[in-house]
Amino acid sequence: MKKRRQFCLYCSAGLTKKLEDDVLRDFCPSCNSFFYENPLPVVSSILDASRQILLVKRDRAPFKGRWCLPTGFAEAGESIEDAALRELEEETGIKGKIVRLLDVDSYRSRFYGDLLFLTFVVEQTGGKLAAGDDSVKAQFWPVGKIPLLAFRPNRRALSAYIKSKRDYWTILDSIDYADKKSPRPDAAKNTLTRRLVNIIVRNKEAVIYSWIEDVTHSKSTAEYHKFDSKKLFITGDKIISQIILWLGGLYEINSLKTFYIKLGRERKKEGFKLSETLSALSLVRKHIWAVSLHQDGWRKSIDLYMTFEMQRRMTIFFDLAIFYLTQGYEVIG
C-alpha cells in the first residue's frame, strides 16, 4: 500500500491539507509550500516475433508470479523511448528499437498511486533472451495463447495491437494457403512475394491518409473537398485491401466488378462527376507508389523484375476498376 506523506521535505514540519485550484493538496504552513501528486510514467514494450509476443514473469509484488509485457518506471534524465528500451533489455536481455507509440493509459495502483502507462511497439536489434531484473522468466507466447496479463494497460495495449494486425495476418495466411494449395516452379518469379505484400500492408494507413489529404485538396477532385473523411478512409481501406489481395492472386474479377459498379452508382446518386470520381481513384495508385515504393525496405526487398510485375498487375486492376466504375455511372435508375 502506498504510504502517505506526513512531513515537509524541506523543514520536516507536519503537513496539512489545503485547497489549490479546487484540488486538496499536501501543504506545509511553515514553508508555505504545496506538494503535488503527479502520475508516475511507466513504459511497456510489445515485441512481436512471428506472432509470438515477448512476456516476462514477475518475481516481486505487485502481481508476483503473473505474466506481463516488459514493463518498468521511467527514470529522471532519460527520454521515455530510452526508458522503454532500457527496461526491455534489463528484463529480457533483448536490445531493440522503437517502431511506434501504440497506447497511453491511466492506471491506479495501490502500491504506487496514479500511473501513466505508455506502450511502444519495438523490434529486436540484438541481445539474447534471458530473464533479468524484476522477472524470473522471459518467454515468447503465441498470440492465441497469451495468459492473463497482470496489468490492465498491458491487456488493453496488446489487444489493440493484435486487432491492428489481424487483417495483415489474414492476408499472409491466405497467401500461404494459396501457395501451398497450388505450388508452381515459377512461383518465385511470377507471384507477389510475402515481402512485397508485407511492405504494402505495413504502409497501408500512410497511403490512405496521404490519399485523403490529396483528394480533399486537389483541383481535379473539388467535389471531394467537403466529403466525410471517415467515409473516405473506409473507401480507401477497401480499395487498398482489394489491391493487396489482387496482387496476391486472391481477389476475383466478379468481386471487383460488383464493388466498383456499386461505388459508381453511389457516387452518381451523390452528385459527383464521373471525371472527379475517376480522378480520386487514380490518386489511390499515385499514393501507393509514393508511400510504398520509396520505403527503404522496399528497395532492399524487391528487384527490378518484381517492380515491373507489380506495375503490370496494378495496371490491370485499375483498368478494370475504372471500367466497372464507369459502368456504375451508366446504369439507369
Largest CA distance in the chain: 86
- Model's pTM, two decimal places? 0.52
Q: Which domains does the chain have, with CATH numbers?
A: 1-37 (2.20.70), 40-163 (3.90.79.10), 184-330 (1.10.490.70)
The x, y and z cell numbers of residue 83, run together, are: 526508458
Interior CA angle at 109 toward 106 and 114, to 5°?
A: 45
Per-residue pLDDT tens digits for 218-242:
999 999 999 999 999 999 999 998 8
The rounded distance, in Å, linking the Cα atoms of 60 and 135 is 8
Alpha helices in 32-124 (DSSP H): 80-92
Question: In the chain, what percentage of residues exceed pLDDT 90?
Answer: 49
Interior CA angle at 134 toward 132 and 135, to 5°?
A: 60
Per-residue pLDDT tens digits for 12-39:
888 888 888 888 878 888 888 877 777 8
The rounded distance, in Å, linking the Cα atoms of 265 and 257 is 12
**Contact 110/2 with Cβ under 8 angstroms?**
yes
333 residues of the chain, pLDDT tens digit each: 566 777 887 788 888 888 888 888 788 888 888 777 778 999 999 999 989 999 999 988 888 999 999 999 999 899 999 999 999 999 999 999 999 999 999 998 887 788 999 999 999 999 999 988 677 899 999 999 999 999 999 999 999 999 888 766 765 565 454 445 444 434 333 444 566 677 778 888 889 999 999 999 999 999 999 999 999 999 999 999 888 888 777 778 888 889 999 999 999 999 999 999 999 999 998 888 877 666 554 455 445 556 666 777 788 889 889 998 999 998 755
Interior CA angle at 159 toward 153 and 164, to 5°?
A: 125
Q: Which helix (H) or strand (E) holds 18?
A: strand 16-20
User: How many Cβ atoms from other residues are within 10 Å of residue 189's Cβ?
Assistant: 12
Q: Which helix (H) or strand (E) holds 148?
A: none
* DSSP class of 149: B
